[in-house]
Every structure is written in structure tokens, then in C-alpha cells.
Amino acid sequence: MSKVLTTCPSCGCGCGVFLVVENERVVGVAPQRKHPVSRGTLCVKGWNGHQIIHHPERLRKPLVKKNGTFHEVSWESALGEVAKGLRRHEPSHIGVVGSTKFTNEDAYLLMKLARGVLGTDNLDTSARFYQAPTLHAMSAQLGVAAATASLTDIEQADVLLVVGSNAKEQTAKAGSYLIWATHHGKKLVVVDPRETELSHFATLHLKPKPGTDVVWLNALCSWLIRGTRQVAEARGVNSLAKALESYTLANAAQLCGISQEELERLGVMVSEAQRLLILYGEGLTQHASGTEAIKAVVNLAALTGSLGKSGAGIIPLHLTNNTQGVFDVGLAPAFLPGFARVGDDQARSTLSEVMGCPLPEKAGLTLGEMLHGAGEQIKAMYVVGENLVWSAPNCAAAKAALERLDFLVVQDLFLTETAQLAHVVLPACSFAEKDGTFTSAERRVQRVRAAIPPVGEAKPDWQIFVALARKLGASLSYRSAEQVFKEFVSVNPWYKGITYGALDVPGGVQWPVGQSLPSVRDAKLLAPQFLPPSEQPTADYPFTLVIGRGRVHRASGTSVSRSFTLAKEYPEGILEVNTDDAKELGLRSGWRARVTTPRGSIERTVVVTRGIPPKVVFASIHHKDGLTNLLANDSLERDSRIPEMKVCAARVEVA
Amino acid sequence: MKVGQKYVLDKQAFLAVLDSLRRGAKLIGPTAGPDGDVIFREVESTSEFTHDYVNEFDPIKRFFIPHRQDLFRFQLDKMPKFEPLVDTSPQILFGIRSCDVKGILHWDKFFTGVYADNYYLAKRANTTIISVACNRPLDTCFCICCDGGPWLESGFDLQLSDFGDRYLIDVGSAKGVALLAKVKKGLVAATRQDLEHRKELMATCDSQMVPTAYVAKAIIQITNRRVREELWDEMGYECFSCGGCTHVCPVCTCYDVADYMETPTSGVRFRCWDSCQYSGFTREASGHNPREKAKERIKRRFYHKLSYAYVKLDGHHGCVGCGRCITVCEAIGMLDLPAVVKRLRREGQPAPEEQGA
């Protein structure tokens, strides 16, 4: 029995964990006592998520589909098929989809393969479904799309504003610090239409109509600027004040469905705060106003002087372990490493020189756009570590889109519903079988260490990319993950000074090293616009459906369904219905209800509660009794092109 | 030489005996981990041991009750076959602390209750326990509140007290006698001065312990149902149901049993760690769950730890004072045993203002 120190892949908190290994099997885990953030704790996902590693359904050999049936083949043969299939298409017709769960090294080489070898900027990850507004808004306003604070800053902050995140369940370590804070005199403001366990501890709980956050945020900023207290010096305060003139607390209260008194109370709390820390999740980003809402958050942080100060700032609470890493790598159309833009000739030229190959000059399609354009604009796709058939909104349409492709390659741990549609399937290693790094939601770069040999013939993703590049006639020569990391560091100024050796301390290293993050003076204030949800309740669909996750979920639910213990924790999907609505519909807790949207219909078990507003229902993602994302709206938001998958209009009836 | 006697032996001489036993048994003990923290693992030689260590955060439970243990292999054909997979390989556990030895005594009770668990008992019978009295408590340790250390009168095969270059050795069992019999020379009876020295070391250790847990009052409160539902409700909101407390507790034994089918008619029945803090732990086949809410599970946990019904059954309350639950709890400083004991003790007390009336 031995123990290997690595980083937990369950969410963006980046907890330290030991894998307990016996006879080349990961049999258990133990928390790392000396870790500076997790400090000897793990959440339910951390304790049990490792069970997927040895699941009997692990893919062990490459598969090629012939006459509709998969056949096991050698790696040489499989990669030959992949190269042949991709070569048949123009670069602009190829889409590459990466994972937010693989390592920085995997992400970097996939970025290099797509741009440098295949010549396509149609390159994205499922971060597009969750936090794309963060990437777009923060990079424009701060030059950095990342948390400006750490989780331990929660201990120093005096006011904590949590928007659109069920932090206690989704990012438990953040929730842990937040609850600690409320027991130690800090003020916690929770903004969420639903009551959650975290809201129980809130000093103030605001319940705006889903999708209206940018309105109360703008009103708050406007109120701060016009208030007696001097706002911090930031570029563009005057033009922002002018642009936000029409946003008043009274108007916001009415439009958002919260009381003006509560908004004023929030305003006083925020204006009097010495250290304001803002944390947010997908409840803020997955809307038509998603990018606008993040602009408003940056404005609020700047106006309150919360940037460049310890105990204050912004933290996007990433659901997955390497969302930050894939942003840092530039695994997104239009973005290069270090948040440079594809259209920036200088940045592109520098990267091209280091990578040793030309790069596309125009921004490509986002994930949502690739799916919408499948069969026409996009004819071939290479999907790595993402079960799109479950994770995409309107998953029936996503499935149909993938079926329209001429050629689909899927690289994953399991024969997922997406892999089943593929022409070639490649077996990949889990985090326990490869070396690399993850970057947490608070910019902490930490080592991932292989604890066991690869299961079957699975290979680390980055090695597959290298082998495929060779098949495509390019020479990517990397002998180790460390060598890949070194090259990545050389093209991302924010990672300067970070080496594998430097990461050999508990908690790794937070970037940047020896530089400062943007402060108030560096912030550019932009005037956010309110864009209402594209789908509003109607007579046929009178409810607003909010889609979210339970305690054991990570992203699409693909992992939880294959963990013996986690699957037990979530035996069925639920539908939260307001008490009065339930009475009107004739529903009771424990009964089955049918939820229908313009995209489909599923059944869920009802939980009647006063913790959800009237005419709003909440459905958790689940797979055994119907994919919740089947119901989700796949309309793409204007700027970041994130789907509006948090809310949609729905009908509820007794099943 | 017999149980209860105390000797002194040069440290290197004792370690040499362990090395000589290496061929016939797995030798497990404390080594330095990659981050400087201690890790108990199998070693090839005692030279791999570290001797200046705090107690490991991960309990030694994994050496007796594996995270996942295959119980038996089955074949369901016309003539069903069952092949038990009992592990009887010998192991020597060196360097564990007193609180963990106390945990083992709890397991002995649990696994020999209504049914004797052959898997545990086989492991137990094939393990030699050599504890080292604690000399480096963490700021989370409180074994002195739970009769869990820092040194013990019994329960071990051998107990060592580290005097630097020598060990004071307490003989705790026939197994310990047999082991010491392999010492060829240098073993001398402990003097009164040696015992005094040990007492001084233990007093120093005691004085370094920070948390307190006045368990007796909490036992009375919980046994007599003097705890308001509102308090359990509040704890239910605080709890993350991560299961960490039961995973790291050296007393807890939560597990689940399931089958892993290898072919349509054959497979393995296995046991794996579980947690009473998971809602799935008590869910019945019908879907009914007597402990659906976190509040109910927490209440159950502390009832099991502290109620007199179990103190009577087990001979001791369910805590040895290792302090691991203080570190592992996501509800920081709220739901570990000392914190809960403190909250329970406050129940039923008149508020300060009322006392003067």
C-alpha cells in the first residue's frame, strides 16, 4: 500500500489529496493535512470520485466503427483512421472540443494540435457552457480572466457577496470558508432565487427573478457612484455614471422582483465594507445577460476599491477542476495563452514563433456555434473528455448535430453517449494515470501525479495528441509532461517563474509569481446592458424552469453515475415546486411530475417547498430518469456565446 | 518474561529484531511523505522509519478494514460455488499511537458482537501491534479527555516509549512475549527511574494538548434527550455530508457490501468503506430512507458516539481523542466531537441573565 500526492479533480477548489494505492489499484483517498487551502478536508466528491478509475466500463482499447459496429484496433490503426478522416476536410470545417477536466499540458497540446497542425480556430471546451462570460468580460476589463482573490481571503473579508452559486454543494471548500465566516462576524449576502443551505446562513438573501442580475448590479453601481461616499478611482467612472443613469434602486427592485429596502440594505453593506469579496457561479453566467453581468461585477469590484487589496476581490467559482487552466492556455476561439487575442498580430506572431508553426488569423466558432453549424459549417469534430450528449443544452439537438457530421472522433475514459456516435473512439487516462498540472479557480497551479499505470491501453491525452500530430505529418516532440509545461510557461507571461520543481510544495504556486494582478487603476469600466432571457413564461409554458446540480454532481453527471457511492447519493432527479403552485397543480412531495419545454419533456420526483418562488421550478440534472439538459435553452448569448441554459419557460403537470 | 512486565532495550537492537522478522511478515510503520507529513506504509527495512512524527491523519483502519475488500468469489451455475477470500497474511504494525490502539479495541467489540466477522478477525489475529507512546501531540489532540492516551496500560502487543536511544517496553500480550523472546541480549528490566522518566514525558505530552472535551456531561444530555431539535437542525445546515469524519475516525466502521459481476453468472462480493453521513447509507430497497436529512444522520452519529446505551454496550464512549475529526470537518470548528460536546453541554442551561433571577 502506498500513497501518491496529487490534486483533487472534483471541482475548481483544488484540494490536496493522496491516492491510496494497492496492487496498482487506487483503493481509496486521504486528504492532505498540510494543504494551505483544503487543510485536511475533502468533500463527498473528493472522498468518492476516485471510484470511476477502475470502473468496469473503462475504455481499454481504441475502437473504430465499421458498418455501424465498433471493432477493437491497434493505436496505429486508430490514429491512422483519425488522421485520414480529418485530412478529408478543410481546416475551417473541423471543430475541436477539449475538456475542462484534463491537465494544462493536455490543454496546451490540444490547442497546439488544433491551431498549429489542423489549422483551425474552431476550438473550445465545455467551459463555454459555464464560465465563458468570465473569460470575455474580465479579459476586456482587467486584462486577466481569473479570480483576483483567494479562497482564504474569505477569512479576511468583512462582506461576502455570493451570486448564482450553491457554493456549499458545488464547491464545498468555498462553502466551508463562507459558513465559517458567518460564524465569525462576517456579513454574507446570498443572491439566489432559491433557498439553499448556504442561504440559511446569509445576513441578507436576495431572490431576484432568474436572469435579471445585471439590473440590480447596475442599479447598485449607479447608487454607489451617486452616493455621498467617494468611489474608488477607476477609468471611466463618469461615462459609466451617465450610462447607468436610468438604473435606480426603485426600478431595479420592480424589474427584479425584490424589495427596494433590501437593495438599499445591500448598498449600505457594500459601501461600508472595508473588504468586499464577490463570489459567483453559473447562476450569474448562464443567461442572455451573462457577459453583461460579469462586466457589472467587475464594475462593482472596481468602484468599491476591491481590486488589488487582500481580503477583497472577485472569485468565479468554477465547477470543474481545470476551467481556469483551459482559459490560461487559450483553449477557446479568439483567445491565445495569457488572455491575448487571436486578432492581436504581435501576440499571435510571438506564439507562432515559439510553437514553430503558423496560426489561424481569425477567431473560430464557439462550442454552441459548432453544434448549431454541424453538418454545414462544421463537418468533422474531435471531442476530448466531454460528454456533449449530456452536457449540451437541448441535448436532443446536440445529438442530432453530432449525427450529421461526416466524421466524429471521441477521446474519453468511457464509451459515453457521445462516444457511441463516433467513428473512432480513443481510450484516455484518468488523472490518476498521468502527470501534469491543474490550475484551480483561485489561480493555484498544482501537480497532478500518476499513481498507477494506465488502465488497459489508455494513454495520457497529451501523448495521444503528439502521436496524432505525427500521423498528420507534423512533428511535436515531447518526452514528458514537464517539457510540455515548460513550453506553455514560456508563452504565458502570467505563469512566468513556475516550474515543476516550484510546485513541489503543499498547495503548489498561485500565479502570478513576482508580479501584481490588476488593481482598481487598471480596471476599465464598461457599461453593461440588460438583455432579458430569450424565453419568457407564456400561457403554454407558464413556469420558469431553473436547472442546476445536486451535491454529488460535477458537470454533466457522467462521473457521478459511475461512482458506486456517489450514484447512491442521488438515486433520482428532483423537481422543486413552490407550495402554492403544487396545490394548484395537484402535486405532492414524492409524486412524479412531467416537465415540458419547447425542446422536450421529462419526468421528475416532486419536492414541494417554500424555498422556491411561485411560478419558478428547479430541476437537478440527472440521467436515469431523463436528461434534464434536454429541456435547456440552447440560445446563444450575444457576446461570449454561452447558452442560456440556466433558465427557460416550462409547463408542469402531474405525470 | 510475561505480560505486564516492563523492559528497557537499545533502540537499534529492537529495530534489528523487527528487521529479522521482515521475511515472514509485512512490516508497516511511519515514514516521511512527499510533503513532510507522516505516512504509514509497508517498508523493506526499519531504516525507512521516521521517529519524530505526529500521528498520521489517515487512520490505520485501512490495514485492518481495507477501503475495498473482496469477500468471496461466486459462480452461479447449476452448482453454485462460493470461494471465500480471507486474507491471513501476517503483518507487523509499528509506531502507531495509543489512540489508534484504543480504536482497534472498539473494532474488536464491533466485529465480535452478534456475528463474528471472520475477515476482520483473521486480519486481527495476524497482526502484531507495536505502539509507541505519544510524544508529539498535534494542536487537535485530546486523548487525555477520552482515556485514549498518550500511553496505555493494555490493549497493545508491545508498547514502546521513546527515550531517544532506548525504548521502554511494556509487554501487553503473549504475542509481545514471543516477539521479545527473539531479543538475544541487552534486554534489562525497567527501573523505577525509567518509569519516572516515562511519566515525565507523558506529563509534557499532556500539557501540550489544547482542545477539551468534557464528554460525561454530553453523555448525560444526549442520553436523557435534553437536546433541542433546533440544535440538530442547525447542525444539519452546517454539515456538508462529506463523510470525512467517519473516514478518518479510528473508531468508526461504516461500510457497504455490493457485488461486482465479471460475467453474467460470476463475480465478486466486496465490502467498501461507506459513511453513515451519506443519505444512501440507510436508504432501503423501497426507496424509504429513515435518515434522509443531514440533521438525522448527525443526530444518529453523536447518539452512537455518546449515548449511554452504547457506552454500556461497547464499554466506552465512541471517541479516543485523536482529533482527526477537528481537521477533517468542512464545517470548520462546528461539528467535530469537542465542538459538539461543548454545544451539547450548553443545552438545558439557563441563559446567563436568568441565573440571577
Reported as a single tens digit per residue, the pLDDT across A186-198 is 999 999 999 999 9
User: Are the Cβ atoms of A551 and B33 closer than 8 angstroms?
Assistant: no
**Alpha helical stretches, state H, chain B:** 11-21, 98-110, 118-125, 174-180, 192-207, 215-223, 229-238, 244-248, 294-306, 308-314, 324-328, 337-346, 352-355
Grid cell at residue A518: 490588476
Distance from CA of B330 to the nearest CA of A (A): 5
User: Are the Cβ atoms of B241 and A505 closer than 8 angstroms?
Assistant: no
Are residues A152 and A176 in contact, defined by beta-carbon separation less than 8 angstroms? no
Position A90 pLDDT exceeds 50:
yes
- Please, what is the average pLDDT of chain B? 94
Position A394 pLDDT exceeds 90:
yes
**Alpha helical stretches, state H, A166-248:** 167-170, 172-182, 213-226, 237-243
Grid cell at residue A213: 442580475
Query: Would you state the pLDDT for residue A230?
Result: 67
Query: Would you state the pLDDT for residue A604?
Result: 96
Distance from CA of A633 to the nearest CA of B (A): 31
User: Are the Cβ atoms of A18 and B332 closer than 8 angstroms?
Assistant: no
Per residue in A500-509, pLDDT tens? 999 999 999 9
Query: B41: which chain A residues are within 8 Å (Cβ-Cβ)?
Result: 1-3
Query: B247: which chain A residues are within 8 Å (Cβ-Cβ)?
Result: 47
Question: What are the residues whose beta carbons fall under 8 Å from the beta carbon of A621, sequence distance 6 or more?
Answer: A547, A548, A549, A550, A553, A556, A557, A573, A627, A628, A629
The DSSP symbol for A232 reads P
Per residue in A242-295, pLDDT tens? 999 999 999 999 999 999 999 999 999 999 999 999 999 999 999 999 999 999
Query: Would you state the pLDDT for residue B1?
Result: 85
Distance from CA of B34 to the nearest CA of A (A): 7
Distances (CA, A) of A585 to A580, A653, B2: 9, 7, 78
Per residue in A342-382, pLDDT tens? 999 999 999 999 999 899 999 999 999 999 999 999 999 99
Query: A173: which chain B residues are within 8 Å (Cβ-Cβ)?
Result: 330
User: Are the Cβ atoms of A28 and B62 closer than 8 angstroms?
Assistant: yes
At A233, is the secondary structure helix, strand, or coil?
coil
Q: Which of A5, A31, A44 sits opposite B34 (nearest CB)?
A: A5
Are residues A258 and A208 in contact, defined by beta-carbon separation less than 8 angstroms? yes
Nearest CA in chain A to B330: A176
Report chain B's C-alpha Rg in angstroms: 22
Can you give the three-state secondary structure of A493-511, one letter per residue? Answer: HHHCCCCCCCCCCCCCEEC
Closest to A109 (Cα-Cα) out of A383, A465, A364, A430: A465
Query: A565: which chain B residues are within 8 Å (Cβ-Cβ)?
Result: 256, 272, 274, 278, 280
Query: Would you state the pLDDT for residue B307?
Result: 95
B 8-37 near A (Cβ less than 8 A): 33-37
Per residue in B173-229, pLDDT tens? 999 999 999 998 899 999 999 999 999 999 999 999 988 899 999 999 999 999 999
State the Cα–Cα distance between residues A500 and A314, nearest whole angstrom.
27
What is the mean predicted confidence (pLDDT) over A200-226?
A: 96
User: Are the Cβ atoms of A571 and B278 closer than 8 angstroms?
Assistant: no
Query: Would you state the pLDDT for residue A1?
Result: 81
Q: Which of B37, B278, B329 sits opposite A33 (nearest CB)?
A: B37
Q: In DSSP terms, which residues pair with B162 in a beta bridge?
A: B167
Query: B333: which chain A residues are within 8 Å (Cβ-Cβ)?
Result: 180, 183
- Cα dihedral B85, B91, B96, B102, rounded to 10, equals 50
User: Are the Cβ atoms of B35 and A34 closer than 8 angstroms?
Assistant: yes
Query: B280: which chain A residues are within 8 Å (Cβ-Cβ)?
Result: 565, 568-569, 571
Q: In DSSP terms, which residues pair with B38 in a beta bridge?
A: B32
Closest to A193 (Cα-Cα) out of A653, A647, A590, A652: A647
At A88, is the secondary structure helix, strand, or coil?
coil
Q: Report the Cα–Cα distance between both ends of chain B, in Å, rounded.
A: 65
* Burial bucket for residue B338 (CB in 10 Å: 0-12, 13-18, 19+): buried
User: Are the Cβ atoms of A551 and B273 closer than 8 angstroms?
Assistant: no
CB of B67 less than 8 A from some CB of A: yes
Residue positions counted in chain A: 655
Q: Which residue has 436529512 as its cell numbers?
A: B293
Are residues A411 and A424 in contact, defined by beta-carbon separation less than 8 angstroms? no
CB count, 10 Å around CB of B190? 18
State the Cα–Cα distance between residues A193 and A199, nearest whole angstrom.
10
State the Cα–Cα distance between residues A426 and A408, nearest whole angstrom.
11
User: Are the Cβ atoms of A568 and B331 closer than 8 angstroms?
Assistant: no
Distance from CA of A177 to the nearest CA of B (A): 8
Per residue in A450-499, pLDDT tens? 999 999 999 999 999 999 999 999 988 999 999 999 999 999 999 999 99
Q: In DSSP terms, which residues pair with A94 in a beta bridge?
A: A380
Nearest CA in chain B to A568: B280
User: Are the Cβ atoms of A40 and B62 closer than 8 angstroms?
Assistant: no
State the Cα–Cα distance between residues A141 and A145, nearest whole angstrom.
9
Grid cell at residue B244: 470525512
Position A149 pLDDT exceeds 70:
yes
Helix (H) or strand (E) holding B128: strand B127-132
Confidence band, pLDDT 50/70/90 cuts, at residue B298: very high
Q: Which of B67, B240, B274 sits opposite A168 (nearest CB)?
A: B240
Sign of CA dihedral B125, B128, B133, B136: negative
Residue-by-residue DSSP string for B40-105: EEEESSGGG--SS-PPPSS-GGGGTS-SEEEEEEEE-SSS-EEEE------EEEEEE-HHHHHHHH
Least confident of A565-574, B96-105, B316-325: A565-574
Q: Which of B36, B280, B333 sits opposite A569 (nearest CB)?
A: B280
CB count, 10 Å around CB of B264? 7
Confidence band, pLDDT 50/70/90 cuts, at residue A228: low
Q: Which residue has 453468472 as its cell numbers?
A: B265
State the Cα–Cα distance between residues A371 and A384, nearest whole angstrom.
15
- Cα dihedral A130, A135, A140, A142, rounded to 10, equals 110
User: Are the Cβ atoms of A28 and B34 closer than 8 angstroms?
Assistant: no
Nearest CA in chain B to A3: B39
Helix (H) or strand (E) holding A289: none
User: Are the Cβ atoms of A569 and B247 closer than 8 angstroms?
Assistant: no
User: Are the Cβ atoms of B242 and A180 closer than 8 angstroms?
Assistant: no
Query: A175: which chain B residues are within 8 Å (Cβ-Cβ)?
Result: 240, 330
State the Cα–Cα distance between residues A509 and A502, nearest whole angstrom.
7
User: Are the Cβ atoms of B280 and A1 closer than 8 angstroms?
Assistant: no
> Is the link from the previous residue into A542 a cis peptide, with omega within 30 of 0?
no
For an interface test with B, the pick among A4, A15, A48 (most B C-beta atoms closer than 10 Å) comes out as A48
Position A113 pLDDT exceeds 60:
yes
Confidence band, pLDDT 50/70/90 cuts, at residue B353: low
User: Are the Cβ atoms of A172 and B258 closer than 8 angstroms?
Assistant: no
Closest to A432 (Cα-Cα) out of A409, A458, A403, A400: A458
Residue-by-residue DSSP string for A63-77: EEEETTEEEE--HHH
Confidence band, pLDDT 50/70/90 cuts, at residue A93: very high
CB count, 10 Å around CB of A527? 18
Q: In DSSP terms, which residues pair with A509 in a beta bridge?
A: A445
Query: A569: which chain B residues are within 8 Å (Cβ-Cβ)?
Result: 278-280
CB count, 10 Å around CB of B286? 6
Q: Which of the two residues, A552 and A326, has the higher pLDDT score?
A: A326
Confidence band, pLDDT 50/70/90 cuts, at residue B355: very low
Query: A504: which chain B residues are within 8 Å (Cβ-Cβ)?
Result: 34
Grid cell at residue B128: 502484531
Query: Would you state the pLDDT for residue A134?
Result: 98
Nearest CA in chain A to B258: A564
State the Cα–Cα distance between residues A416 and A100, nearest whole angstrom.
17
What is the mean predicted confidence (pLDDT) over B122-143?
A: 96
Position A51 pLDDT exceeds 80:
yes
User: Are the Cβ atoms of B247 and A47 closer than 8 angstroms?
Assistant: yes
- Please, what is the average pLDDT of chain A? 96
Residue % of chain A over a pLDDT of 70: 100
State the Cα–Cα distance between residues A440 and A544, nearest whole angstrom.
33
Closest to B26 (Cα-Cα) out of B70, B84, B88: B88
User: Are the Cβ atoms of A179 and B34 closer than 8 angstroms?
Assistant: no
Grid cell at residue B110: 464491533
Nearest CA in chain B to A55: B260
User: Are the Cβ atoms of A44 and B240 closer than 8 angstroms?
Assistant: yes
Nearest CA in chain A to B327: A40
Position A411 pLDDT exceeds 70:
yes
User: Are the Cβ atoms of A568 and B280 closer than 8 angstroms?
Assistant: yes
CB of B258 less than 8 A from some CB of A: yes
User: Are the Cβ atoms of B331 and A569 closer than 8 angstroms?
Assistant: no
User: Are the Cβ atoms of A44 and B67 closer than 8 angstroms?
Assistant: no
Distances (CA, A) of A220 to A217, A263, B257, B295: 5, 8, 55, 37
Rounded to 5 degrees, φ, ψ at A616 are: -120, 135
Distances (CA, A) of B247 to A337, B59, B254, B277, B324: 41, 8, 8, 10, 10
Amino acid at B302: F
Distance from CA of B72 to the nearest CA of A (A): 18
Confidence band, pLDDT 50/70/90 cuts, at residue B351: low
Grid cell at residue B81: 460455488
CB pairs under 8 A between A and B: 117
Query: Model ipTM?
Result: 0.94
Position B356 pLDDT exceeds 50:
no
